[in-house]
Amino acid sequence: MESGARQLTAVDLNTFTTTQQEAFGTVGMTADGRTFRYVAFGGTSTIKAGLLCVGPAAPSNSTALAITAVGTGGQATANLQVGSKTLVITNGATSVTANQFQFLEIVSAADLTYSLRINGHTSAGNGGYITVSLADPLPQGVTQLIPGTDTANLVYSQFNGVAPSTTGNAPAGVTTNVVPQSASASYFGWVQSGGKAFVKATTATIGLGIAQDLAGTAGYVIISAATTGNIGWAKASAASNTASVVLNIN
């Protein structure tokens, strides 16, 4: 079985495609030890190099979804029991496209919470039924899920739809090249998550931590504080400029 990070070249890092080539979040590494993550870029505008990209916001009506009753929408009793890798849930008001989400979170009446990887799922309109194929089976502790009581959340990978933003979210990585995102085409590629990088910075102080700027320019970093987390540290000081940093987003 393959394991470890994928080895990346300059060609890999400078190539963007309109079709997905790797699993979201796949780890890549260059010969000098820098690490990268494979992502889908969000938004409709070109993304400049040196910008911190963060994960997407949760779409509306994707949380607290009902687990469908047995006998409805193809739901079976076996789907609700430990070891199951199929589950039917009832969609909310917002239409869902096939394979849009990467994780299924379950909240049970037994005060148990689970985050399970999704292999794929069907599409559904308002109030329709979504059949979810799970990569992770329902784990031990699930005697049987209870339709109408237990609920489910559909969740994006933090690497699906990343973009520069001043809205706080899980950081994915820094762009190392211009991403040709447009209103007519969305792209996939690599962002840097670890090692020496060159980033846009509102503020940076040599030796201190850096974090996402939540108040200034989207994609810029600032001196980190307890409320903004830490994605690395500065190798040089900067103000409204660029900064040499070491990333530690992983």
* Whole-number average pLDDT of the chain: 93
| pLDDT over 80 (residue 186) | yes
- String of DSSP letters for 59-121: PTT-SSEEEPPTTSTT--GGGGSTT--EEEEE--SS-B-TT--SEEEEE-TTS-EEEEEEEEE
Q: What pLDDT, on a 0 to 100 scale, did the predictor assign at position 1? A: 37
> Average pLDDT for residues 159-188, to the nearest whole number?
95
Considering only CA atoms, which of 194, 229, 191, 171 is closest in space to residue 48?
191
Q: What pLDDT, on a 0 to 100 scale, did the predictor assign at position 110? A: 77
Q: What pLDDT, on a 0 to 100 scale, did the predictor assign at position 190? A: 98
pLDDT digits (tens, 9 = 90+) for 46-104: 999 999 999 998 888 899 999 999 999 999 999 999 999 999 999 999 999 999 999 99
Considering only CA atoms, which of 89, 56, 63 is closest in space to residue 75?
89
Q: What pLDDT, on a 0 to 100 scale, did the predictor assign at position 67? A: 96
Considering only CA atoms, which of 135, 137, 138 is closest in space to residue 112?
138
Q: What pLDDT, on a 0 to 100 scale, did the predictor assign at position 227? A: 65
Q: What pLDDT, on a 0 to 100 scale, did the predictor assign at position 86? A: 98
Considering only CA atoms, which of 173, 148, 171 is closest in space to residue 70?
148
pLDDT digits (tens, 9 = 90+) for 4-58: 789 999 999 999 999 999 999 999 999 999 999 999 999 999 999 999 999 998 8
Q: What pLDDT, on a 0 to 100 scale, did the predictor assign at position 81? A: 93
pTM: 0.90
Quick one: which H or E segment has residue 13?
helix 10-13
